[in-house]
Amino acid sequence: MSPHPCLSCGACCAYFRVSFYWAEPVPDQFTEKLNTHRSFMIGTDSSVEPRCVALQGVVGKHVSCGIYGNRPSPCREFEASFESGVENTRCSAARKAKGLSPLTPGDWK
């Protein structure tokens, strides 16, 4: 097991559209305008095979965020299942969609 289960996951980065307030300090080259007040991470708006442009590595093997220090609020606020002791059903759904087993409380020991 890796020291942090999310270091090998990245399912959320390749499953959800990541939209946020346009003035967040996310590098412009990684974003597209959604509407007057919101932007989204390039690659996450695809209905076929979404994948954030900042995601580096292979989902389920080893991943990292290329803009970790400047990632948008939805990324900073997203918790993996059981990271704080409770299941995040959105995390579990993203992992399932990518063929990964759900995280358990034991993954955080």
Model's pTM, two decimal places?
0.90
Residue 46: strand, helix, or coil: coil
The pLDDT tens digits for 20-41 are: 999 999 999 999 999 999 999 9
Per-residue pLDDT at 37: 97
User: Which residues are bridge partners to 32 per DSSP?
Assistant: 40
Q: How far is CA 50 from CA 20, 23, 32, 40, 43, in A?
A: 17, 23, 14, 12, 6
At residue 88, what is the residue type?
N
Closest Cα to residue 42, out of 26, 63, 24, 23? 26
What pLDDT tens digit does each residue of the chain (109 aa) get? 445 667 789 999 999 999 999 999 999 999 999 999 999 999 999 989 999 999 999 999 999 999 999 999 999 999 999 999 999 999 999 999 999 999 999 998 8
Query: Which has the closest alpha carbon to 41: 78, 91, 83?
Result: 78
Single-letter residue type at 75? C
